[in-house]
Amino acid sequence: MNVLQIFPIFNLVHRRVIKIMQYPLELIRKRVEREVLSNSGVLLKSINYDEPIGDPGFFGPNSVCWQVHCDFSSMIVGGFSALLLQMLHPLALAGVWDHSNFREDMMGRLRRTAQFVAATTYAGKEDATAIIEKVRGIHEKVSGVAPDGRSYSAMDPDLLTWVHVAEARSFLTARLLYSDLKLSHRQRDQYFEEYGMIAEKLGAKNVPKSVKAIDDYLDSKIPELVYDARTAEVFQTLSNPNAGNRKQQIYARHAMCAAYGLLPAFAKDFYPTISNARQATGKQMVRSVAPILRWSVKNGAYARSLRRMGRRI
């Protein structure tokens, strides 16, 4: 027998000491979690990930989408990379330029995108459908004329496909690079099949739904892409993000360097070069911070939705 068994009072004191030691750690965890969830849009009250009990939403816990979209670190890097790719299309850029305050509130745009992805991936069908209809309503008001004289509309099926492909390709690439998730070629195809449904519900047409189809589609779009003064300003904004507090700014700056590294080779050729050293530093920062973020987030969309389905992480 040890001393804790012989003297119960020692056992009581021991347990209290352990509890006191754990208390500050739990405060830290909750603080980090609050920052992560506020930046991912999960704290917004319009989406309920806890109910209806048993509602799998569009995909359910056995889907590849649930596995790809559950990691904050890879999604933030993928989000930056998706923006870099999307903004090379002059009509996609025109819509953002004319109808948003992206340059002043970059994190706000990323937060809204994160909320949409989380809701359509994890929420019950009613909430997921509602946010799609909300976004379609916003898209109906976004139209205009680009600097090259062409008309654009956020309801254009071709533009919707472009925006979707840039996101899907970036999210999957980031998830595979910045976590230990292993997906077979068939599972990667399945991811594009699953997530393509959301693009179609928004109005996209001819959505590519396999790794090869995605690669072929991107190659076919190269002649339409442009790097001009507007694209350069977007690149500058992303490179020097106005992202909340000092810690978030430092992290976002490194995430941007990591995001550049995810781009297809043809996209990197359009942009100013970010050195291999800066890319490597960005990757190391993301990989170093990722375990802390995963430890801290116990009530994100993924965890809450698993509980809704009676599952455990």
Distance CA 199, CA 121 (A): 12
Residue 7 inside a domain? The answer is no
CA count, 13 A, side-chain hemisphere, 275:
3
pLDDT at 88: 98
Residue 295 inside a domain? The answer is yes
pLDDT at 12: 46
Distance CA 254, CA 21 (A): 33
Beta strands in the chain (DSSP E): 143-145, 151-153
Measured in degrees and rounded to the nearest 5, phi and psi for residue 226 equal -145, 140
Residue 156 inside a domain? The answer is yes
Quote the radius of gyration of the chain (alpha carbons, Å): 22
Distance CA 313, CA 306 (A): 7
pLDDT at 107: 73
- The 8-class DSSP code of residue 89 comes to S
3-state secondary structure of 151: strand
Residue 52 inside a domain? The answer is no
pLDDT at 15: 57
Domain that holds residue 85: 59-300
- Smallest Cα–Cα separation from 47: which of 131, 132, 135? 131
Measured in degrees and rounded to the nearest 5, phi and psi for residue 153 equal -150, 140
From residue 7, how far is each of 4, 14, 20, 21, 61 by CA, in Å?
A: 5, 11, 20, 22, 48
Residue 189 inside a domain? The answer is yes
- The 8-class DSSP code of residue 208 comes to -
Q: Identify any residues that bridge with 145 across adjacent strands, giving them in sequence order.
A: 151
Tokens of 3: 């001393």
Measured in degrees and rounded to the nearest 5, phi and psi for residue 302 equal -65, -50
Residue 81 inside a domain? The answer is yes
Residue matched to tokens 């990930």: 49
Distance CA 149, CA 138 (A): 23
99, 142 Cβ separation under 8 angstroms: yes
* CB-CB neighbours of 310 under 10 Å: 9
Residue 45 inside a domain? The answer is no
3-state secondary structure of 158: helix
Spatial CB neighbours of 290, under 8 Å, sequence gap ≥ 6:
71, 73, 74, 178, 179
pLDDT at 30: 84
Distance CA 296, CA 309 (A): 22
Spatial CB neighbours of 231, under 8 Å, sequence gap ≥ 6:
87, 88, 93, 270
pLDDT at 166: 98
* CB-CB neighbours of 291 under 10 Å: 10
Q: Indicate the pTM of the whole model.
A: 0.88
Residue matched to tokens 């025109």: 94
pLDDT at 241: 77
What's the domain count of the chain?
1
Going residue by residue through the chain (313 aa), what tens digit of pLDDT does each one get? 444 444 444 454 445 544 545 567 788 788 888 877 777 666 666 799 999 999 999 999 999 999 999 999 999 999 999 999 999 999 999 999 999 887 777 777 788 888 999 999 999 999 999 999 999 999 999 999 999 999 999 999 999 999 999 999 999 999 999 998 999 999 999 999 999 999 999 999 999 999 999 999 999 999 999 999 999 999 998 888 776 678 888 888 999 999 999 999 999 999 999 999 999 999 999 999 899 888 888 899 999 999 999 998 7
